[in-house]
Amino acid sequence: MLYLLGVLAVFIGIAVSIALHEIGHLVPAKLFRVRCTQYMVGFGPTLWSRRRGETEYGVKAIPLGGYVRMIGMFPSRAGDDGKLRASSSNPLHLMIEQARQDSLEEVGPEDADRVFYKLPVWKRVVVMAGGPLMNLAISAVLITLLLTVQGLPVATPQVSAVAACANTDVADDDCTGQDPSPAAAAGFEVGDTIVSVDGTPVDDWAATTYAIQNAGDEATFVVERDGERQELTADLVQRELALMGPDGALVLDEEGEPVYGQASFLGASPTLDHEPQPISAAPPMVGEMFTQTAGIVLTLPQRLVDVSQAAFGSEERDPNGPMSVVGVGRVAGDVTQNGIEGLVESAGERFWLLVSVLASLNMALFVFNLIPLLPLDGGHVAGALWEGLKKSWARVFGRPDPGPVDTAAALPVAYAVAIGLLGMTALLIYADIVRPIQLG
């Protein structure tokens, strides 16, 4: 039941995000008096619709997208009488002319000044950028709520788990043929709060880890247990670990990768707490998420190769890689039902993780739709900006107005992009079924 609840919650969140994305197009289009004949959430057969004024509002069966139908998206050619010309046998030319005719078929004499392509360049940019900017706003609001209400996770020096074995991680408890971990042997218990390491006071887990890694073969700990302080002495073991600096940050090499080396190991895990942040922390976090998402989009071809190798081979899926809506649903269901041991356990933590998933999805919609290729919003923005550049060039050099840019001519590219998107979606859905991303 919890699994289905998580899946349903994230799908509702996606549907609402898509609906608001289309509102981002619809509102400025109506403000600029463009005639909008349809506002639809989803694709496929119409489940429900109702006409208000000149616009039909509705919901379709497959809630994986949406659209606002505006008249006159593509300009007519000079002297065009609105009729489809079949004088060319080139199928691409015929396809372009058909799209041009479809765009103009709803344009009546009274709508001559209400077509999209006659808007000034800046208004067309506002209309087409309104959808992605709505997703950016949704992401920013959700991130702000995460930071100011739940807060950032902070590792405290309170022990949440004690490793059973000296040479395995905290989660392992089969110590056949192994010595107990230093923490277990020294008598550490869950709930102990480490106060000092070898006489050095510590108030967070970063300082505790740094002190342990550099303590040598033996360390004396002062812990607080049930309101009383006790002294525990641990014989530490040396393990290959990611090294930490005194500020708690990982030591990185020239390529930005963690540096590993021999360091002292105790075998105790911290307790994660959440510390609410001021609202001023939100913009940098939004910027960081944008940078990370843009990096994924820019490296998408290579990441899809990695997904293919995982889906059809033995490679592991990158937890930070792309996934389909099926994968997002599985993650939401798993988190809602099982949580993530040591990281996401309470109902509140599970809720906020779903919120972070929706924030990431909206950021992905924002970045992806900025790609300057039709049929994405960025393609329409690029066409409008190119037209503005051509007209500015003509004015500077005293040349005639070149007229609107014929974005219909880019439709073959749009169809190729659409086919590529369908192929990518099919690959990601298959990978999310046979080798889903595992969190935790």
Each residue's pLDDT, cut to its tens digit, for the chain (440 residues) gives 778 888 888 889 999 999 999 999 999 999 999 999 999 998 889 999 999 999 999 999 887 788 999 988 887 765 454 444 444 455 656 666 666 666 667 777 788 789 898 899 999 999 999 999 999 999 999 999 999 998 988 888 999 888 888 765 544 556 666 778 899 899 999 999 999 999 989 988 888 989 999 888 899 999 999 999 999 999 998 888 888 887 777 888 887 788 888 888 898 888 888 889 999 999 999 999 999 999 988 888 899 998 998 889 887 888 778 888 888 888 888 878 876 665 666 777 888 888 998 999 999 999 999 999 888 999 999 999 999 999 899 989 888 888 888 777 777 888 888 899 899 989 999 998 988 887 65
Return the SS3 of 162.
strand
Phi (first) and psi of residue 146, to 5 degrees: -60, -45
Question: 87 is written with which tokens?
Answer: 């004088």
CA–CA dist 434, 368 (Å, integer): 25
- Cβ 262 vs Cβ 232: under 8 Å: no
Phi-psi region of 88 (alpha: psi -120 to 50; beta: other; left: phi over 0): beta
Instruction: Say which residue the tokens 């919890």 belong to.
Output: 2
Verify whether residue 189 is a known catalytic residue: no
CA–CA dist 361, 279 (Å, integer): 21
Q: Tell me the sheet residues that pair with 41.
A: 59, 66
Report pLDDT for 224.
94
pTM of this structure: 0.82
CA–CA dist 299, 313 (Å, integer): 21
Report pLDDT for 287.
95
| CATH C-level class of 153-275 | mainly beta
Q: Which residue out of 22, 110, 228, 315 is catalytically annotated?
A: 22
Angle between helices 411-434 and 325-338 (to 10 degrees): 30
Assess whether the previous peptide bond of 412 is cis (omega < 30° from 0): no
CA–CA dist 63, 44 (Å, integer): 9
CA–CA dist 226, 70 (Å, integer): 68
Instruction: Say which residue the tokens 């895990």 belong to.
Output: 269
Report pLDDT for 103.
66
